[in-house]
Amino acid sequence: MGVRLMVVDDHRLLAEALASALKLRGHRVLAAAAPAAGAADLVISRAPEVCLLGTAAPAEPGTFDPVVKIKRERPQVAVVVLGPVPSPRGIAAAFAAGASGYVRHDERIEGVERAMMKARAGEAAVAPQLLQGAFGELLNPVAQPDDEGQRLLRMLTPREVEVLVRVADGEDTRLIAAGMGIAPSTARTHVQRVLMKLGVGSRLEAAALAARTGLLDRAGPVG
Q: Would you state the torsion angle of the CA atoms of residues 111, 117, 118, 120, taken in this order, to the nearest 10 degrees?
A: 140
Q: Do 126 and 24 share a structural domain?
A: yes
Taken as a whole, the chain contains a residue count of 223
Q: Do 179 and 125 share a structural domain?
A: no
Q: 70-129 pLDDT, tens per residue?
A: 999 999 999 999 988 666 667 878 888 899 999 988 888 999 999 999 999 999 888 766
pLDDT (0 to 100) of residue 35 = 63
Helices vs strands, H then E, count in the chain: 12, 6
CA separation for the pair 173, 190 (Å, rounded): 10
CA distances in angstroms from 198 to 108, 176, 207, listed in the order given: 17, 19, 10
In which domain, by residue range, is 210 found? 143-218
Task: Kindly report whether the global pTM for this prediction surpasses the value 0.85.
Answer: no
Q: 41-68 pLDDT, tens per residue?
A: 999 999 999 999 988 887 777 888 999 9
Q: Which of 135, 169, 184 is the last residue of a domain?
A: 135
CA separation for the pair 176, 184 (Å, rounded): 8
Cis upstream peptide for 58 (omega within 30°): no
Q: Looking at residues 161-172, what average pLDDT do you find?
A: 91
Domain-located, residue 223: no
Q: Do 27 and 92 share a structural domain?
A: yes
CA separation for the pair 213, 83 (Å, rounded): 9
Q: Do 84 and 11 share a structural domain?
A: yes
Count of Cβ atoms closer than 10 Å to residue 114 Cβ = 16
Q: Helices 173-180 and 184-198 meet at what angle, rounded to 10?
A: 110
Q: Do 96 and 35 share a structural domain?
A: yes
CATH, residue 167: 3.40.50.2300
Q: Do 151 and 124 share a structural domain?
A: no
Domain-located, residue 37: yes
What residues are paired with 7 via a beta bridge? 32, 52
Structural domain count, the chain: 2
Q: Which helix (H) or strand (E) holds 209?
A: helix 203-212
Mean residue pLDDT of the chain comes to 85
Residue 145, pLDDT above cutoff 70: no
Q: Do 88 and 32 share a structural domain?
A: yes
Sheet arrangement for strand 125-126: 28-33, 4-8, 50-54, 78-83, 101-104, 125-126
